[in-house]
Chain A
Amino acid sequence: MRQVAKWALDMAARRGASYAGARIVAQRSRALATKNGKVGSASDAESVGMSVRVIADGAWGFAASAELDRGSVEATAAHAVEIARASARVKQHDVRLAPEKAVVAEWATPYRIDPFSVSVDENIALLLKIDAELRSVAGITLAETNLNFNREEQWFLSSEGADIHQTKLSTGAGYAAYAFAGNEIQKRSYPNSYGGQWQNKGYELIDELKLVENARRIAEEAVALHGADQCPEGKFDLILDSSQLGLQIHESIGHPIELDRVLGMEANFAGTSFLTLDKLRTLRYGSDLVNVVADARQEHGPGLGTFGFDDEGVPAQCTPIITSGLFTGYLSSRETAHTIGENRSGGTLRAEGWNRLPMIRMTNISLLPAEKPLSLEQLIAATDHGILMQTNRSWSIDDKRYNFQFGCEIGWEIKNGKRARMVKNPSYSGITTEFWNSLDAICSRDEWTLWGTPNCGKGQPQQVMGTGHGAAPARFRGIKVGSAYKSG
């Protein structure tokens, strides 16, 4: 594969590119799903191809092809240079890349059990066992389960001398139980909604998740929601479980700190950001307890944003994003680093596959846990009157990332430190910085989970990327609850 990359780099140089980076990527995936006692889908897929990203005449060009013979690769590289020259017809100034030491390196996701080595028989038996548990509860009208495995091997070579071979592996699993009755559909999911939990690790994740053990409880909760009271409307102290808080971080911190959004590069699709450059190191993003990092390093954990090097050869890093409540960092790339006065990229440029342009993506954007021990049960016990919300059901935020509204699958009204009653259709809304400034308690490390979001969409053409979000349950004071169901 290195030879393929070299053909591309040589041709790009011959056509006059001042910079070229070639990626050859081989992806393999397996998706298994069941629905109501039957296998719903069973598929394997592989995709192999190469792309070359070049600068010529001070502008970008990118071309990709699945054909890996020398003639096709060279034609693709030449096309990338032709495209760059067309880009140069509409430019304000030349592209400027922050310097980066070219490295020769190997990196691979650590894992114990290769998920592709586990028989499909065994996987389907597991899913059908979960399905049977879910549907053994009277009132469950639909049960869905899924297992997903992905392997991505990439060779990145650049005209600056980088030569990086990297292999990433990810595993995902989850299930949902639906109960339809009267005029209402209620749903519970485990370990998270929309595909469950995903991490960059092997099949060992499946055992850790205790999928079967939780199935009956989840199904019983879905049915019980029909008999629960509607979540009250008003201002409440709000406790979010760690999975919902992970999504809250994703939407109201992870996206606004993407420097390409801030600079207007995503204005036509994903939107811009309220975090204009003047807010760096001046904005009080959250309360003093809020410490958030963007950490792609393996030592942060096996998140979907964990890697050795990003897709322009920059090593994984940890960037402080919010430090004791103060906004301290953006997600940057070699092209954008200079706009915030940095002389090095933050290492966040990633592409969905061989045929997509790398762009700034969240790595693992995590809220650090409290150092003082605090469990969720202790946090509930310390709350006079509030609502605990668990597991996301709907999410929406404006295109500058100010106003958000989230719905959750299940809520609990807390009175005098105890879960007084289950409530259905819980939702909350707010303004990003007001919300994070209302945080007054975070649970400690033993309640902290590094969640995987496998479906983050961005870019044109749209790319889907996996991101990681570490969070422990936390409490927010005086939050607007229930407005989603308020009529007019």
Chain B
Amino acid sequence: MLTSDQAGEIFDRIKKLSTADEAEVLFSGGRFALTRFANNTIHQNVAEENHVVSVRTVFGGRTARASTNQFDSDSLREVVRAAENLAKVQHPDPDLLPMPDAAEAAGSADRSVRSTPAIPSRYFEETAGITPEQRAEGVKKIVSVAGRYKLTTAGVFSSAESCEGIFNSRGLSDWHTQTLAEISITMLVEDSSGWQKANSPDVANLDPLLLAETAAKKAVDSARPREIPAGKYTVILEPAAVLDIVGFMFWDYSGMAILDQRSFLTGRMGTKLFGDNISIWDDVGHLLQTGAPFDGEGVRRERIGLVENGTVKRVVFARATAERVKRSEYREKAGPIAATGHGFPLPNEMGEMPLNIVFARPRDPQSIEQMIASTERGVLVTRLWYIREVDPYEKMLTGMTRDGTFLVEGGRVQGGVRNFRFNESLIHMLSNVDAMGVPARACGEESFDMVVPAMKVREFNFTEVTKF
């Protein structure tokens, strides 16, 4: 994998090749491998190594970017030429700021408002060194569980080591490496299925047998699903289901989204949108989080309290967005305005976004079993699927339940039910949370990984039932 020293050397060569006022180079890439299984067979098994160098140049307020995955002299010369040619024909951008130097990126220029957490090491040799044989052995264990329950299984076991770095002509440089192992398992019977997924920088935190047992039990317990009518139900959402649905609102926690009037927070900053029990942070330093501690311009990520006791307190800002908001009609309504270290690489249209979401631990956390025991009639949901936004300002989303949907009656799980379609507002949902679990690292397919609790929600709106 590319090292920071090698990247620094390449940056020096690019700097010499460039005639721009300023130059910035992003590096990303690494090694990735994934073993995929279905029908109790490994049917796809892949590995790749790739690195990308992405060059941004600035000429008199004009900027553009070009990238390549080839690092030979001709390719580097060509990518610099492409970035410069593209930049030179842009219109000057009055909002473009000079690139940050190391002090500004670290937050030392304005320590009074910035709190940039240190992050734990996210690189584990054991994860980086996983071989195809080790992944196959992991799959074999999962298949053996399927065999014991007379089920069919499908899923993945992947491993990766990756790097991310930034260098600019004002002396800023930063580098991050991490590893990630992931296991996802679906167990299938004729008319039902169960699912589990987990990932971690440290493969030692993953237990394929436990995940397989849980998925298998869900498949068996939800077999012969009965149809119950659509309507408003109390639901118990496992952490993956919470992650899938709440992830759709975090694009809106952005200064640029408010300026563009595409955020559901436009006109609602500082108002109480959710229940008292909802507090949400963006915290790259959290022990269960992953990712680099700097953003697309190299600014260190700040720990931000987005929602406190149901009130939306803050959104995140890229450097230029912060300056624009300070000059806008929203300057009194956007909370503290300063670069928070959440910007995307420039140039871009979206500005910034919080990507390290952590829900605060509730005062009185409950296990899923406790939530079930206190539910007279409701639905237990393993995961959600194919979620899309129906109404952007009410944050109404539609989607399906999948891979383990159960009826709860009289405080007990009473078997599987056919899957539902929901149409539910996130504002409504997060105002109706009756109980929460201890926040855990969760991963799904609809949203990025987060630290979220299981939730018991009243009056969740199921509008249709499907055929299975």
Contact = CB atoms under 8 A, between A and B. Distances in A.
A460 B34 contact: yes
A396 B262 contact: no
Interface in A73-123: 79-80, 82-84, 86-93, 119-121
B45 A86 contact: yes
Given A86-B133, A264-B39, A44 B67 contact: yes
B75 to A, nearest CB: 8
A454 B142 CA distance: 35
A64 B38 contact: no
Contacts of A89: 42, 133, 136-137, 140
A405 B397 CA distance: 11
B68 A47 contact: yes
Contact of A357 (B32, B44, B67, B90): B44
B9 to A, nearest CB: 17
A64 B51 CA distance: 12
B204 to A, nearest CB: 21
A49 B399 CA distance: 37
A156 B39 CA distance: 29
A62 interface: yes
Interface stretch (A205-213, A302-310, A425-433, A437-445): A425-433
Given A33-B349, A90-B139, A64 B47 contact: yes
B65 to A, nearest CB: 4
A62 B464 CA distance: 42
Contacts of A183: 393-394
Contacts of A121: 89
Given A66-B50, A483-B464, A486-B463, A425 B391 contact: yes
B39 A263 contact: yes
Nearest to B37: A90
Contacts of A14: none
B185 A268 contact: yes
B44 A268 contact: no
A67 B50 CA distance: 8
A208 B349 CA distance: 27
A124 interface: yes
Interface in B386-413: 386-394, 396, 398-400, 402-403
Nearest to B389: A394
A49 B35 CA distance: 21
A354 to B, nearest CB: 9
A62 B46 contact: yes
B419 interface: yes
B51 A41 contact: no
A33 to B, nearest CB: 6
B42 A41 contact: no
A339 to B, nearest CB: 11
B41 A84 contact: no
Say what secondary structure dominates the interface of chain B: strand
B47 A429 contact: no
Contact of A403 (B47, B69, B466): B466
Given A45-B66, A488-B461, A402 B466 contact: yes
A483 B40 contact: no
Interface in A37-52: 38-49, 51
A487 B461 contact: yes
Interface stretch (B11-19, B152-160, B293-301): B152-160
Interface in B172-224: 184-186, 188, 193, 195
B133 A45 contact: no
Contacts of B419: 398
Interface string A25-39: 000000001011011
Contacts of A128: 91
A63 interface: yes
A172 B211 CA distance: 43
A470 B51 CA distance: 38
A484 B396 CA distance: 9
B398 A44 contact: no
Interface string B80-119: 0011011101110101000000000000000000000000
A274 B70 contact: no
Contacts of B393: 180, 183-185
Given A44-B66, A124-B91, A357-B44, A396 B399 contact: yes
Nearest to A26: B70
A43 B65 contact: yes
Contacts of A486: 423, 463
Contact of B39 (A36, A38, A265): A265
Interface in A54-69: 59-67
A263 B154 CA distance: 11
> 6 smallest A-B Cβ distances: which pairs?
A40-B349, A86-B132, A403-B466, A267-B154, A180-B261, A64-B48
17 contacts: A38-B93, A42-B347, A47-B50, A48-B68, A60-B43, A63-B47, A63-B48, A64-B48, A88-B42, A91-B42, A178-B260, A185-B261, A185-B262, A264-B39, A268-B156, A268-B186, A269-B445
Given A48-B68, A79-B47, A264-B188, 17 more contacts: A46-B68, A46-B79, A66-B51, A86-B132, A87-B35, A184-B393, A263-B38, A265-B44, A268-B36, A268-B195, A357-B46, A396-B387, A400-B468, A402-B466, A402-B468, A484-B390, A488-B231
Interface of B: 32-52, 63-70, 79, 82-83, 85-87, 89-91, 93, 95, 131-133, 135-137, 139-140, 143, 152, 154-156, 158, 184-186, 188, 193, 195, 231-232, 260-262, 266, 347-349, 385-394, 396, 398-400, 402-403, 419, 421, 423, 445, 459, 461, 463-468
Interface of A: 33, 35-36, 38-49, 51, 59-67, 79-80, 82-84, 86-93, 119-121, 124, 128, 141-142, 144, 178, 180, 183-185, 263-269, 271, 274, 355-357, 359, 393-400, 402-403, 405, 407, 425, 427, 429, 431, 460-461, 483-488
